[in-house]
Chain A
Amino acid sequence: MKNSSQPIPEQLEQWLGAIALGDRSAFTALYTATSPHLFALLLRMLKTRSAAEDALQDCYVKVWNKAGSYQQGRGKPMAWLYSVARYRALDMIRQRRNTVDVDDVAETDLLSTLAGAVEVTSAEQQADDSANLQRVAGCLEELSEEQKRALLLAYYEGYSHSEIAGGLDVPVGTVKSWIRRGLLALRQCMGLAK
């Protein structure tokens, strides 16, 4: 897995603090540093550039208005920004579900997506300077193939239980079980269990 030149957390925290006080130059700096990362995730989930750009605009309007709600120590600033983006993308995907038939998700598409999501090479691992990412990747590798596949399709593509079940031709209940058991196993592996 890659960890492509992520912005420096301390710098992001400074910018978010300044944005909370209305500092436009900090907002522009934050946008410049983070928008390629958010746009790539949004494009991955929403599939079209126009939808991804709409979502990107929504995200940064929210960042401007809600920067004060980010709390240092509660989480990493980039994770907060990714969450803002994912929640917006998920909302748009849900709205789209109401108007478009998405039952015919091809398994080949799902599998090619999955291959891209979980491809790990030793060279990339050596270049990866994120211990947290390595830990998540390592824990994912401990899941069953089915659990990992279902989790990653939900995370990167925003697919619902029924969409994954349709694509993989398994009962919805099976997918639910894979995801829930997979998440709890991930939690155990990452030391989140109290």
Chain B
Amino acid sequence: MVDKTVTNPQAELDLEGLDADQLRAAAVAEYVLGTLSPTAGEACEALFHTEPEWAEELAVWEDRLGELATTVEPIAPPAGALAAIQKRLGWHVAVVSPGRSWLSNLLPAAIGFAAALALSVVLLPSFMGLENGQLATVDQAAPAYIAVLVDASSGANWIVRYNETGQSLQIRGSDKLAVRPDRDLQLWAIYDGKPHAVSLVPRSDGAAKMVEGDVPLEATIAISLEPRGGSTTGLPTGPVLAVGELISL
């Protein structure tokens, strides 16, 4: 249903004899084409966020009209364009902590699209009480590191504990985020400028999974939504739900 409080972009079209489906199509098509007025365009954008049918119509028109752009012969952009973009992204900013320099770029970006939150130390005491039989398998005497990944939209949080000496990493599941049966959550460690698949994330609350392997302490830990069984490409293919970093306990 269209929110009646939002300006109706279809009203601008004034097409008689068309059903609601056709009117929506006409409005979205003109939005993609760029011929809607700014006011109607803003109303469309509001509907894209709240009405799934409008968002679906948008993707369809962007796909179809996008084919027209393929007819334009490629032209190499100015040589300095990439460097200018990298500068705007802050990639040439002086590095304070060499091993983690790119984190300052990752986190704002991640927050922008995935509502991700990094670890808050004040959360640690409550999470320390999580240790159950499975967590006890971590060598408690060895230096331990922990990351708490939070999906702000669902409130789900996942605990990652890493034992550097034993080179074992443990991920604890959460059931606060409903994951479709044909999907899985996948844990990634990002270092050397690339994401590395670590493990699938347990679906049930409190369930923990142990993974053997060496993960650099400067790695950023992230969770993405993937097809069932995990990404088959070796790289994340779905939206990133949460990002965090390991800190020493």
Contacts and interface: CB of A to CB of B under 8 A. Distances in A.
Given A21-B240, A60-B85, A79 B33 contact: no
Interface in B126-148: none
Nearest to A194: B21
Contact of A68 (B32, B73, B231, B240): B240
Interface string A44-81: 10000100110011001100111111011011101110
B109 A17 contact: no
- Interface residues of A toward B: which range? 35 or more
Interface string A169-194: 00000000001100110110010111
Contacts of A68: 109-110, 112-114, 239-240
Interface in B9-65: 13, 15, 18, 21-22, 25-26, 29-30, 32-35, 38, 59-60, 62-65
A22 B29 contact: no
A82 B82 contact: no
Interface in B57-88: 59-60, 62-78, 81-82, 84-85, 88
Most chain A C-beta atoms within 10 Å of own C-beta, residue among B85, B102, B193, B231: B85
Summarize A's interface: helix, strand, loop or mixed. Answer: helix
Contacts of A36: 74-77
A18 B195 contact: yes
A20 B168 CA distance: 26
A136 B21 CA distance: 21
A115 to B, nearest CB: 13
15 contacts: A17-B231, A20-B224, A21-B106, A23-B235, A24-B193, A26-B235, A35-B77, A64-B109, A67-B113, A69-B113, A152-B68, A155-B33, A156-B68, A179-B30, A183-B30
The 6 closest A-B pairs by CB, nearest first: A79-B66, A22-B106, A68-B113, A36-B74, A39-B77, A17-B236
